[in-house]
Structure 1
Amino acid sequence: MNILFAGDFEPGYNRTKIIIDGLRAQPGVTLSFYNYKEKSKWNFPALRKACKAADVIFLPSFTHQDVLMIKWLSGKPLIFDPLISRYMSKVFDYKKVGKYSPRAFKNYLKDKISMSMADLVVCDTHAHLQYFHDTFNIPEHKMHVLPVGVNTDDFKPAPVQHPQNTFIAGFYGGFIPLQGTRMIIEAAKVLQPHTDIQFRLIGDGFEFKKVQQLAKDYGLDNVSFLGWVNYNKLAEEVNAFDICLGIFGETMKADAVIPNKIFHYAALQKAIITKNAPAIREIFEDGRDIILSENTATAIAEKILLLKNDPVLRAAVAEQGYRKIVTGYNHKVIGKSLYELAVRLL
């Protein structure tokens, strides 16, 4: 089977990379690419030729604007992986667009048209699937859940190496609204008297400067910002954490996703604390393979202290999360699932 990845996409983006790596591990699958970042969107003969050679066309994350033309041009079975709703992100997450504005309607149409035109829509969670159905009236029968997962060849656990009198609660991310990094700073403020607990935040992005300023305003000496870390160094940095912090946003999107970092943390055999949200509960079980928290600074601080003071529980949660993710949600499992969906579509 020849699967064509088409549209304007980033092959190195985590979700897309996992799918590519997973499909490459499947016998009988060949991949081809027509990426608008490298080839002309308007070279119809070349694009049509690439489509003709494919059995199935796959449009990766964020290619909403490409679905209509590629479907019209190719006439081939088309799988679309929106990953996000542009309407939800712009209006309710980043709040850059008014709910009843022309731009909101434009983003609503981008979601609805792209998902309607695809033959199959893959969703990262059931919560997203339900949102797409309820908001854009996409039939449930044409959607399927394909979790983000993790490339377990890239993320392997290693012993924690740092001073024994220090306990590190770590986070990485793009400081986007759904991640709720402000809440991590509030928890760090609560735990400031516990001088052996340190918070280590990796990354930068949308709210980075505001979060950094908040820590400065509070005079926190238990928070450090490491800046952006390349993908190939990420596992090494996270392996230095004693526990990992997930997401604590108050947005609609925060309740609908299981972000990359949760899968990465689990694959590195780390105990995870994250917001108690519907999407997280689709895969994880509180107290067994993850620690879920009410979304308050005090509650998060209490969960951090719980794991710090109970190394047996910390090790058990880390082990159960690790086993679940590396066996059921590795890149090969994700690739096999998508391959089987493509076979079914054909």
Structure 2
Amino acid sequence: MNILFAGKFEADYNRTKIIIDGLQQTPGVQLSTYNFYTRSRWNIFALRKACAKADVVFLPSFSHRDVAWVKLWTRKPIIFDPLISRYLTKVFDYKKVKEHSFRAKKNFLKDKVSLQAATKVICDTQAHKQYFHDTFEVPLEKMHVVEVGVNTGEFFPQQHPQSNKFVVGFYGGFIPLQGARYILETAKVLKDYHDIEFQLIGEGFEYKKMRALAEEYGLTNVVFKGWVKYDQLNAAVNTFDIALGIFGDGLKAQLVIPNKIYHYAALQKAIITMDTPAMREVFTGDTNIVLTSQDPVTIAAQVLALKENPQRRETLAAAGFKLITENYNQQKIAGKVVAIAQQLLQP
């Protein structure tokens, strides 16, 4: 089976990389690519030639603009992996676009046209699948869930120097769905516990705002580590004693299980994150993860409970590690993509 990855996409983006790495390890699958970083460089002849050699065309994450375009030049089945709704992200999550504005309608149409043009759509959670159905009228039978997963060759437990602090860690781009404010407010609740340190890795959308908030609160128990290169992330996160997931206010936070959750589990870390429908699709509270509210006092209590009970911490971490590394590694994720492609190729 030849699967062509087409469109404007970043092959090293986590979601796409996991699928590519898994497919490269799958017997009987041959990968090819047609990737241009600007639409003006599309070569229709080359695109058609690439599509002609493929059995299935795969449009990776964020390639919304390219789905209908590619469809113009091939009759091969198209699998589209949107990962996000541009409309939901820009209008309701980042709030960069007013809800009833022309730009909002434009983003709505970019989502709807791309989702409708694809032969099959893959979604990272059942909750996201339902959102696409309810909002853009995509038939449920057209969509399949392929979780984000993790590349276990890149994220795995490592030995690290012991710290004299109990490290409560987080990494991310400080985007709204991550709810970094609630992490800082949790640190504020625990500011008198001098043996606990909150380490926040990354930069991004609300980073400066969160730095200012930490200064306003006078938080000496929070360390902003800054940006860490992808190939150094495994080592950095391995230094955490426990890991914090997402606590965002918006709808998007209810629909996704982000990269970091899979990464934390693959590193055998006990995880505390907000209780959402999406999280419950994969994880089970108090069995392989701690699911909690956004309330900083409640989150702080969960941090203290794990700190004071190393055995429970290790049990949660081991169960999460087993769940994710056995069921959501790159080969398992790629296998779901292959199954969808095989379904499309049946007579």
TM-score normalised by L of structure 1? 0.98
Q: Which amino acid aligns with 1:65?
A: R
Match of residue 104 from structure 1: 104
Match of residue 262 from structure 2: 263
Match of residue 179 from structure 1: 178
Match of residue 329 from structure 1: 328
Query: Does 1:288 find its partner at 2:287?
Result: yes
Query: Does 1:170 find its partner at 2:173?
Result: no
| Structure 1 residue 74 displacement after superposition | 1.1
Match of residue 206 from structure 2: 207
Q: Which amino acid aligns with 2:80?
A: F
Query: Does 1:319 find its partner at 2:292?
Result: no
Distance (Å, rounded) in 1 between the aligned partners of 2:312 and 2:42: 57
Secondary structure at the aligned position of 2:27 is classed as coil
Match of residue 35 from structure 1: 35
Match of residue 149 from structure 1: 149
Match of residue 124 from structure 1: 124
Q: For 1:132-156, what per-residue CA distance to the aligned partner results, in whole angstroms no more than 9, with x for missing partners? A: 0000000000000000000001111
| Structure 1 residue 99 displacement after superposition | 1.0
Q: For 1:302-324, what per-residue CA distance to the aligned partner results, in whole angstroms no more than 9, with x for missing partners? A: 11001001111100000000000
Given that 1:248 and 1:274 are in contact with CA atoms closer than 8 Å, whether structure 2 keeps it comes out as yes
| Structure 1 residue 217 displacement after superposition | 1.0
| Structure 1 residue 40 displacement after superposition | 5.9
Match of residue 159 from structure 2: 159
1:71-86 correspondence to structure 2 within 5 Å: 71-86=71-86
Q: Percent identity?
A: 58
Distance (Å, rounded) in 2 between the aligned partners of 1:42 and 1:131: 32
Secondary structure at the aligned position of 2:110 is classed as helix
Given that 2:18 and 2:149 are in contact with CA atoms closer than 8 Å, whether structure 1 keeps it comes out as yes
Distance (Å, rounded) in 2 between the aligned partners of 1:39 and 1:32: 19
Q: Which amino acid aligns with 2:250?
A: T
Distance (Å, rounded) in 1 between the aligned partners of 2:92 and 2:179: 14
1:222-261 correspondence to structure 2 within 5 Å: 222-261=221-260
| Structure 1 residue 161 displacement after superposition | 2.6
Q: Which amino acid aligns with 2:15?
A: R
Given that 1:4 and 1:50 are in contact with CA atoms closer than 8 Å, whether structure 2 keeps it comes out as yes
Given that 1:160 and 1:241 are in contact with CA atoms closer than 8 Å, whether structure 2 keeps it comes out as no
Distance (Å, rounded) in 2 between the aligned partners of 1:315 and 1:159: 15
Deviates more, 1:331-340 or 1:122-131: 331-340
Q: For 1:176-233, what per-residue CA distance to the aligned partner results, in whole angstroms no more than 9, with x for missing partners? A: 0000011100000000010000000000000000001100111111000111111111
Distance (Å, rounded) in 2 between the aligned partners of 1:152 and 1:42: 35
Match of residue 220 from structure 1: 219
Q: For 1:41-61, what per-residue CA distance to the aligned partner results, in whole angstroms no more than 9, with x for missing partners? A: 431111111111111000000
Match of residue 18 from structure 1: 18
| Structure 1 residue 340 displacement after superposition | 1.2
Q: For 1:282-333, what per-residue CA distance to the aligned partner results, in whole angstroms no more than 9, with x for missing partners? A: 0100000000111111111011001001111100000000000000000010
Given that 2:243 and 2:269 are in contact with CA atoms closer than 8 Å, whether structure 1 keeps it comes out as yes
Secondary structure at the aligned position of 1:66 is classed as helix
Match of residue 4 from structure 1: 4
Match of residue 279 from structure 1: 278
TM-score normalised by L of structure 2? 0.98
Given that 2:9 and 2:60 are in contact with CA atoms closer than 8 Å, whether structure 1 keeps it comes out as yes
Distance (Å, rounded) in 2 between the aligned partners of 1:280 and 1:160: 29
Given that 1:160 and 1:242 are in contact with CA atoms closer than 8 Å, whether structure 2 keeps it comes out as no
Distance (Å, rounded) in 1 between the aligned partners of 2:219 and 2:39: 49
Secondary structure at the aligned position of 2:19 is classed as helix
Secondary structure at the aligned position of 2:73 is classed as helix
Match of residue 189 from structure 2: 190
Given that 2:36 and 2:42 are in contact with CA atoms closer than 8 Å, whether structure 1 keeps it comes out as no
| Structure 1 residue 159 displacement after superposition | 3.3
Q: For 1:224-259, what per-residue CA distance to the aligned partner results, in whole angstroms no more than 9, with x for missing partners? A: 011111111101001000000000100110000000
1:81-96 correspondence to structure 2 within 5 Å: 81-96=81-96
Segments of 5+ residues of structure 1 without an aligned counterpart are none
Distance (Å, rounded) in 1 between the aligned partners of 2:160 and 2:212: 29
| Structure 1 residue 39 displacement after superposition | 8.9
Q: How many residues are paired up?
A: 345
Secondary structure at the aligned position of 1:279 is classed as helix
